[in-house]
Structure 1
């Protein structure tokens, strides 16, 4: 299946959503939207579904040895993550003071508590974070291990856990059913159920449904594009209406990520199949250069924006901005513009070079095998 360009735009929009929510939770404007951080935790839910889709597409498109696969994934995730982690460690001491002096936002008390805890246990937090496996450390051993130093890095640990396990999980889900495979899945489910309550929010087992939605979506789109009769016959707009209707009937905003995902799949598939000008227009907007530009650096934007927000908060007292709405406008403008600049630079000079290096791994082996394959064909 071809690369889904529209998902780049989705990544960028989700990263901005997370940024806006974090700014909203740092200002003293209390209302439902501000109190709930604009529900930006649901943007992360969509990120996780999207990750399930993207990694499944990668594994399906390019079968390779596990060590090569995981080396590429490490080069994709760790350079930028470790860069922003290092900065966060360096400013951890002053971060406590900045959060304590910040406006009375909905997350102020939590952030002061996390920053204080981070300093109290910083060597252990650092050891866990450098490996990217801090999402596997039980909170009773290391409090707030999910959010120490770089709060949003809880999802980076989750992502890394998924990368490590994805080939096994996808294989168990999608290969031919057998009694052995069923037994393994049942045992895994029981094990995850048993340990999940003891592990932090970023434990992979808590998010298997989200990753599973992404995995299943990839195979649905792939086999429908290949013309599988049953999948090709499914009426997408009607199924979308049923799915969204069922989500609405739940009367919970927790189903918002699923509504967003179902809508994205409807638009992308319908645009590729030429099922209406509306779908094609939305797809064209998503594939536009500004949104692709934003999406390309979504990972750096996600990692960097809290540091920029911290810097913006540090300048508030000296500027004498006291009105909550003026503070909100200032923080949003500085955080957004500053994060875009910083993220573009880290994408160009950290993310992109390491990503390209990762893509080059194994090419020498591929080139070396091609002449032998050609010679074998000629001999036949």
Structure 2
């Protein structure tokens, strides 16, 4: 590619919106449970649900939405870093960090500050199991963990903070961003390094799940490792290397219409039945999602087309959708109760619509101000067709 040429992967914005939607549906049912209302997780979110039931479907899609986000990040960030290395013979790690700061930090800290210091004092936003004393217990430890982007450690160690529970995945993403530019900058054989990361992650997972100890630190490490998911991003990175290096023999198979239809059918079938694999659950879905991403982004003969204006815009505001939706769901739920018109037929569409409104306003009037600053640190411009 010529230096300065913009990089654009079609369909990925639409896929981001779908990922956010999966998470929202899952969290609507969680919110109903927190408010003591009948919900799909009547037996608890960690219960085993029979495959083929609506309970099993809603149970799996929440984390799978995040797995889809992780797969997208691994694919896209890896590719952009490789292009930067090709064009400049290096990777400007500092500028990479500043780009991530401008995109992630403003909304992240807005939600964290609101959830930790403001929401607990608003009666309308109260949740039975999360009173002020509960939310603000160990307050400065929680603030410290949020400040240093360890909300995933906070979640497994001290529990969820209402309206900021979803930030656990932002922590995982930031930890990925912290190490990834260095890996891409130093690695001679990127494919070998990526496979090493995947294998090491799985080996450590196996050891942590072998019940070698009942000690607190061991159990904390086990729970943390379960939400670290760096291997999913590495799987996305493997796909990115395949596309970047134009490994045609492999791409010919993965880009064939037969492979696309089979992969899509498997994804629909597994999610439609709510299948949860006892072993390598997220990795299996991660591979399937990554094959889908490769075709949507890089295959001119993709059998799916998500390049619709409304879907592209919905994808652009998907970060806001992800960050605001927990707050919105509770506001909508309590408003419907107050008006004595509460029903799922209203709760679901209104939660999505109002989340879109919140995310749109945030994107246009808050996030864009920082995105303008982000452009100053761009080396590989993405967002327009190659």
TM-score normalised to the size of structure 1? 0.73
Q: Which residue does the alignment assign to 2:338?
A: 318
Secondary structure class of the residue paired with 1:3 = coil
Of the three residues 134, 142, 148, the one matched with 2:151 is 134
Is the contact made by 1:301 and 1:339 (CA closer than 8 Å) also made in structure 2? yes
Secondary structure class of the residue paired with 1:62 = helix
Secondary structure class of the residue paired with 2:343 = helix
Secondary structure class of the residue paired with 2:136 = helix
Report matched runs for 1:1-380 at 5 Å.
2-27=7-32, 28-30=38-40, 32-34=53-55, 37=58, 39-63=61-85, 64-89=91-116, 90-94=118-122, 98-100=126-128, 112=129, 117-136=134-153, 139=156, 142-144=157-159, 147=161, 150-170=164-184, 175=189, 197-199=219-221, 201=223, 206-224=228-246, 228-234=247-253, 236-240=256-260, 252-253=275-276, 254=281, 255-270=284-299, 272=300, 274=301, 279=303, 282-283=304-305, 286-321=306-341, 326-361=342-377
RMSD, aligned α-carbons: 3.9
239-248 or 17-26: bigger deviation: 239-248
Q: Count how many residue pairs are aligned between Structure 1 and Structure 2.
A: 332
Q: Deviations over 1:305-359 (max 9, x none)?
A: 11111212332442123xxxx5222322332222111111111122222122122
- The Cα of 1:149 is off from its aligned counterpart by 5.2
Name stretches of at least 5 consecutive residues in structure 2 with no aligned partner: 2-6, 33-37, 42-52, 86-90, 209-216, 380-386
Distance 1:181 1:16 in 2: 29
Please state which structure has a larger fraction of its residues in helix: 1
Q: 1:232 to 1:182 in 2, by over 3 A?
A: closer
TM-score normalised to the size of structure 2? 0.72
- The Cα of 1:231 is off from its aligned counterpart by 3.5
Q: 1:358 to 1:133 in 2, by over 3 A?
A: same
Name stretches of at least 5 consecutive residues in structure 1 with no aligned partner: 101-111, 364-380
Larger radius of gyration: 1
Q: 1:55 to 1:147 in 2, by over 3 A?
A: farther
Is the contact made by 2:12 and 2:297 (CA closer than 8 Å) also made in structure 1? no
